[in-house]
Amino acid sequence: MLWFSSNQAWEPTATKMVRDALGNLKNLTFEEQFKLMGCVRFGLDADDGRLLDWRAACKHARTPRKLREAMERLGARMGAFPGHWFATPVYIPLIAVSYEVWDGNQWLPGSETGFLEVLREITGEAK
- Judged against a pLDDT cut of 60, whether residue 127 lies above it is answered with no
DSSP H or E run through 109 = strand 107-109
Q: How far is it, in rounded angstroms, from Cα 108 to Cα 73?
A: 31
Question: What local confidence, expressed as pLDDT, does residue 61 receive?
Answer: 97
Average the pLDDT over 45-58 and give the result. Answer: 95
How does pLDDT run across 71-81, given as a tens digit for each residue?
A: 999 999 999 99
**Total domains, the chain:** 1
Residue of 29, 89, 91, 36 lying closest to 59 (CA atoms): 89
pTM of the model: 0.78
For residue 12, name the pLDDT band (cuts at 50, 70, 90). Answer: very high
> Which domain, by its residues, includes 76?
2-123
